[in-house]
Chains A and B, each alone.
Chain A
Amino acid sequence: MAEVTYLEALRQGLWEEMERDPRVFILGEDVGAYGGAFKVTDGFAKQFGEERVIDTPISEAAIVGAAAGAAHMGMRPVAEMQFIDFISCAYDMLTNYVATARYRAGLATPMVVRGPCGGYVRGGPFHSQNPEAAFFHTPGLKIVYPATARDAKGLIKASIRDDDPVIYLEHKWLYRRIKEQLPEGEDLLTPIGEARLAREGKDLSIVTYGATVWKALEAAEQLAKDDGLSVEVLDLRTLLPMDDAAIMRTVEKTNKVLIVHEDTRTGGVAGEIAARINEQAFAWLDGPIMRVTAHDVPLPYAPTLEDFVLPQTDDIVKAARWLAAY
């Protein structure tokens, strides 16, 4: 066992897959000699050569499109978006070309598009986004969003091995903040489509993913101490396809649900989760399904503004308290 950060776990996963499978290659901006803006691919070019760690022009559509072409030919490309905010430049390529390829044309497109997401880092409107809702609506894509170091590794490996295109969202606030003991020499895989019970409880459930898993756990701890409330936390890990069974299990157990995500509210993933609970577990509810999310504004830069807009641990505590008393 060795203690590794979320970032190191991701790096290990990529490294191991590059070693295991010669079809895997990486392409993106500054990923080669420089090792990536966050050093996720540091040392890769030296180890695997610049043919397998390709520095590209600033061309997200070309990065994703070229990855798709290579994937059709049997390669397993991993495309990096330097910041996930720039994935919107490849929106057409991902939603129209990549996502539809299997369905419309029977074309396998096994590829991963990954990149650093999320706020709490004073990154401002274009280095803090969470783009999941923009792709969540697109049949043909899969979306994973690890919260732990173990899943950062397990999901990148599973994504690379998946036969369909996967958007792998990694939270930059977690990169070096989260550390975990991971077994060495074990082929660590996290199955795509399976949620993880991050904390067991019986009074109320928090359904969440990404960085807010940690805020929810912090809130649960505080509620246990201050209010004697037993809060369950479900870490979705995969957003598409969503683990409905795990969500309904926790609803049936606690009968009250708070959905928490860092992304903005309107048209966000929480709305879809609420609709599914309504359709599949309405009879089990003892209160309204409530949401804690970012406010519907572009994410501002100043700490006072960013902290106000994003969901904080204290928001989750207050919301959970309100719902528990309902």
Chain B
Amino acid sequence: MPSRAAPTTQSPPVPAGLTRDQLLDMYRYLRLTRTLEERLVALYRQSKVIGGLFRSLGQEGESVASAYALDRGRNRDVLSPLIRNLGSMLVMGAQPIQILRQYMAKAESPTRGRELNVHFNDLERGYLGQISHLGDMVPVMAGIALTFKLRGEPRVGLVYIGDGATSTGTFHEGLNFAAVQRVPLVVIVEYNRWAYSTPPEKQFAVKDLAEKAKGYGVPGVTVDGNDVLAVYEATRFAAERARGGHGVHVIEVKTYRRTGHAEHDDQHYVPKDELDWWAKQNDPVDRYVKRLLQSEWVEERELQAIDERTRAEIDQATDACIDEPLPPGDSALEGVYANPPALTPHWYRTL
């Protein structure tokens, strides 16, 4: 356990056993997520991003805090992020340059130009990229958690699922399987109000998605997803409970998707005042900063220093990869199977 920070002034004790350094570290990941995405928007507008751009604006808090609650040391936990969980990947050790290269389909990107955006993985660091078929990662992560159980490893799996994807069959099958097997799995259900353009009332008939946990015989809690420390505490509790052999835990985080499904989507279906309220009154980064400063846990200049370092880091990463080449076309034939390592081009390509 990290030691509780010794408050330098009369500030309230830092919650959840976090140290002051950890509070700043979480802030760094929040800022890194937002700054990186802002850079991606700029690159998107310059047509440097090859495909769509998906943002996590407004959801950085729950992504960073939930990942931060996992064990990233000796017993490395594994999580499976969605497109709006960039922050969770950064916490687990994904590098900004990897994300930039992915979006720009560079040869040196983690998937060598085969996959888009944050769809990549590094099981050593502890993240497994999603596929576009929402819900599919729940059974897969159940299998990873099952492996931890079979091997007696004190490790935990964490899978994110959007409110819309709770309608899929694989969500049901995976969660039920995990619950029956009592595997160490934390399920973060992200209630972000919009599944592309579909509102919750057309997606499910429960009020809180945590209610669904009852149907699987596992605990489910609802947490303010834009309260970084609340998400951290809830996830920490769920992860340690799972690590202790008590099985699956569902956490619903109430948050809000503040951008369109992707950058092309103008969100005309979203009430303007609602959007403004979430941006002005309930931004997870603003709220976290306010809490840090009002509690006098950290000083403003420390946050500013992080902001500056982060900007420099993203500038550097962008400069390092923006002119890199795309992968050579014929590398597309590599790696479908372990053996043969590459397929041969069709006959007419050699004419």
Contact = CB atoms under 8 A, between A and B. Distances in A.
Interface of A: 25, 51-52, 54, 56-57, 59-75, 77, 92-93, 96-97, 100, 102-108, 139-140, 142, 162-164, 241, 279
Given A25-B150, A62-B139, A69-B142, A100 B131 contact: yes
A72 B177 contact: no
A73 B144 contact: yes
B139 A105 contact: no
Contact of B146 (A61, A69, A104): A69
A75 B150 contact: yes
Residue picked from B129, B144, B146, most chain A C-beta under 10 Å: B146
Given A69-B145, A140-B337, A164-B338, 7 more contacts: A65-B143, A73-B144, A92-B136, A100-B131, A105-B129, A106-B110, A140-B336
B144 A72 contact: yes
B291 interface: no
Contacts of B181: 54
Interface string B85-113: 00000000000000000000000001100
Contacts of B143: 65-73, 77
Contacts of A59: 139, 173-174, 176-177
Contact of B170 (A57, A65, A71, A75): A65
A68 B176 contact: no
Nearest to A54: B181
A104 B105 CA distance: 12
Contacts of A142: 337
B119 interface: yes
B247 to A, nearest CB: 15
A62 B146 CA distance: 12
Interface stretch (B120-128, B310-318, B320-328): B120-128
Contact of B121 (A62, A75, A105, A279): A105
Contacts of A68: 139-140, 143
Given A102-B335, A104-B111, A62 B177 contact: yes
Given A70-B143, A104-B114, A92 B336 contact: no
B262 interface: no
A77 B337 CA distance: 18
B133 interface: yes
Interface residues of B, number: 40
B138 to A, nearest CB: 7
Nearest to B334: A103
A108 to B, nearest CB: 7
Contact of B142 (A52, A65, A104, A106): A65
B142 A66 contact: yes
Contacts of B129: 105
B331 to A, nearest CB: 11
B180 to A, nearest CB: 6
A97 B146 contact: no
A1 B311 CA distance: 72
B174 A65 contact: yes
Contacts of A52: 150
B173 A72 contact: no
Contacts of B148: 73
B98 to A, nearest CB: 13
Nearest to A75: B147
B174 A92 contact: no
Contacts of B133: 92, 96-97
B146 to A, nearest CB: 6
Interface string B177-195: 1001100000000000000
A80 B131 CA distance: 24
Contacts of A106: 110-111, 335
5 contacts: A61-B174, A65-B138, A70-B150, A107-B121, A163-B339
Contact of A164 (B115, B128, B132, B337): B337
